[in-house]
Amino acid sequence: MIELRNVSLRYGAREILKNVSLTIEDKKVKAILGPSGVGKSTIIKLMLGLIKPTSGQVLVDDVDITHFSEVELFPIRQKMGIVFQGNALFDSMTITENMSFFLRENLNLPEEEIEARVKEQMKFAGLEGFENNLPDSLSGGMRKRVAIGRALIFHPTMILFDEPTAGLDPVSSKKILDLIKRLQSEIGLGAVIVTHILQDVFAVADSVAVLYQGKIIFNDAPQKLYDSTHSFITSFLSNPED
């Protein structure tokens, strides 16, 4: 479970998040919907302790990680995989090296175990045959799946997606969304999906929070969005390309 309690964040004079409170349940898919530049990536990074809030608290499984050091954060972060907006793959490493890098770095696993885990992820992501390719030589959808494999390889209990379908064609988008659904139903993996695309929310989310001008203006089941009278939500529903 991840919990933000009255979290505010400012960059210089600009207040990006204002008193945001949000709870993310295990084994559920939570979407955070918001327009471009509203602070969606920021929220995800706060959950991992990659940035610190100006005020408020971040709790993971009831542990307050707000003031944790990098070393203290490591076991916390291992519970959560993250898929970055632009994948953040290491461009000088092959696909398998990208997937196994952090295993080798952080866990003292025998070589067979590492290979087995990489194989498992390659298969799950449908990337067999591309083991020795560099990320640059793959399509956008495949790169995304590599990034997902890299996040899953630690066997996390929660996975955080920063705009998983942005920039992908409809077919690749659907593949990624199916994958997220499958992860939830097959291994009970909880997920946070940050997105500005309405279809993503309806496709996978159990519940959705809408972030607008630094505040959570809605937090409920996706279908309830239609009942909302908030002007941003009504205009977003009628014109989702904004």
Partner 1 sequence: MWKLAQAYSASLEEKVKEIAFSMQDFLFFSLRAFRALGASKRYWRDVLDQAYICGTESLPILMVSALSIGSLIVIEVGHQLAEFGAKTMTGRSVALSVVREISPLVAGIMLAARVGARNSSELGAMQISEQIDALRAFGTDPIAKLVVPRLVASFLMFVPLIALCDIVGLISGAYLAEWDLHLDRGIYWNSVVDILRPMDWLVGFSKPPVFAIGISLISCYTGFSTTGGTAGVGKSTIKGIVYSSAFVLVMNFYLSKVILDFMRG
Which residues of the shown chain bind ligand ATP in the complex (CB under 6 A)? 11, 16, 34, 36-42, 85, 196
- How many of the other CB atoms lie within 10 Å of CB of 76? 18
Whichever of 81 and 233 has its CB closer to partner 1, that residue is 81
For the CB of residue 226, give the shortest distance to partner 1 in the complex, in Å: 35
Position 41 contacts Mg ion (CB under 5 A): yes
State the nearest-atom distance from the C-beta of 73 to partner 1, in Å: 8
> By C-beta, is 58 or 118 nearer to ligand ATP?
58
Name which of 178, 177, 87 is nearest 138 in CA terms: 87
Compute the least distance from the CB of residue 230 to partner 1, in Å.
Answer: 31
Binder among 90, 188, 235, 237 for partner 1 (CB under 8 A) = 90
CB of 34 to ligand ATP, least distance (A): 6
User: At closest approach, how far in Å is the CB of 100 from ligand ATP?
Assistant: 28
Of the candidate residues 68, 84, 161, 236, the single one contacting partner 1 (CB under 8 A): 84
* C-alpha R_g of the chain: 18
Q: Distance between CA 185 and CA 180 in Å, rounded? A: 9
Q: How many CA atoms lie within 13 A of 35 on its CB side?
A: 15
Instruction: Kindly state whether residue 161 participates in binding partner 1, applying the rule CB under 8 A.
Output: no
Binding site for partner 1 (CB under 8 A): 45, 48, 50, 70, 74, 77-78, 82, 84-86, 88-90, 102, 105-106, 150, 154
